[in-house]
Structure 1
Amino acid sequence: MENEAALALSPLLVPLLWSVPLLVVHILLQGVTATKELGTDWNAGPRDDDRKASGILAGRAERASLNFRETYPVFIVLALTLAIMGETAGWAIFGAWLWFVCRIIYIPLYLAGIPYIRSLVWVGSLIGLLIMFLTALF
């Protein structure tokens, strides 16, 4: 019962819950940019012809979305693990918010095609996950 109370009150659930709209933003960006290029008939249809968006912005939106989805399951597992463990402050929260903020900043940097800074922000998000992981271990 104590773990249930800790989970219900965990501040780790805030960035976890806000990560859902962030996922939706990625999906919408990918869909909107591809639809702009390929048309609404393509979007509404079954997409049997295997056409893919080939424009720069649509490609970047797709790659940014794929990149997000590579680390998203890890973030979910770590946030829930730490919440269940009762880690509700300090490094656990810092790591979660670092991942989340970096993932937000990453989107416009990737869409704009800004090198190096985008990569540093990506590394920042991984550092957030590493902090969460190490907090869970120790």
Structure 2
Amino acid sequence: MESFPTELGILTCLGILAASLWIPYIIGVNTSEAGSPADIDSQDFSRPANPALQRPWVHRAYRAHLNLLEQFVPFAFLVLLVDRVDGFTALTYWTAIAFFWLRVAHAIGYITGWARLPARPIIFTLGWVCCLIMAYAVFAAAL
């Protein structure tokens, strides 16, 4: 039986994170005080609440989820391409692990407000670098 590559396991964990990061936002939206500006748009469920009118941590939770999706989709695509060309190496192993923990740190830091300038943009940029490394691995394996 062929072993399950760590990169695909990390991708699975990232998928779970992406599929679950909506939870803090929904908790925040549903615990706002009735009649507050944040609640006006969503009282009758006719349209979603405006994230900009939510409490700061709730708005940050919304943005953290979007930021994860912005990097998860390209990263997942690249990991699957590396798998397709049989290009997993020590570099892709450590890149996948680094990407996962960068995304966890980004989500926690963003939602709590702990990761401010310049930490949050640096974490996001390092995630982008992980995507570039995975793209390099695709081309390196395909040549």
Normalising by the smaller structure, the TM-score range is: 0.7 to 0.9
Aligned to 1:111: 111
| 1:129 and 2:131 aligned | yes
Structure 2 gap ranges (5+): 35-39
Matches of 2:89 and 2:44, distance apart in 1: 47
- TM-score, normalising length: structure 2: 0.79
Q: 1:89 to 1:45 in 2, by over 3 A?
A: farther
Report how many residues are paired: 131
Q: 1:38 to 1:95 in 2, by over 3 A?
A: farther
RMSD between aligned alpha carbons? 2.5
Does the Cα contact within 8 Å between 2:82 and 2:88 map onto a contact in 1?
Answer: yes
Aligned to 2:37: none
Does the Cα contact within 8 Å between 2:92 and 2:137 map onto a contact in 1?
Answer: yes
Matches of 1:65 and 1:123, distance apart in 2: 16
Deviations along 1:65-115, one digit per CA (max 9) or x if unpaired, are: 111111111011111111111122221122222211100001121122231
Q: 1:57 to 1:84 in 2, by over 3 A?
A: same
Aligned to 1:37: 32
Which aligned runs of 4 or more in structure 1 are off by greater than 6 angstroms? none
Q: Equivalences for 1:55-70 in 2 at 5 Å?
A: 55-70=55-70
Question: Bigger shift: 126-135 or 114-123?
Answer: 114-123
Matches of 2:49 and 2:10, distance apart in 1: 36
Residue type matched to 1:48 in 2? S
Aligned to 1:120: 122
Aligned to 1:91: 91
Structure 1 gap ranges (5+): none
Matches of 1:72 and 1:45, distance apart in 2: 32
Aligned to 1:52: 50
Q: Tell me how far 1:24 sits from its aligned partner.
A: 2.8
Residue type matched to 1:23 in 2? A
Q: Tell me how far 1:18 sits from its aligned partner.
A: 0.7
- TM-score, normalising length: structure 1: 0.81
Matches of 1:127 and 1:49, distance apart in 2: 37
Q: Tell me how far 1:35 sits from its aligned partner.
A: 1.4
Higher helix share: 1
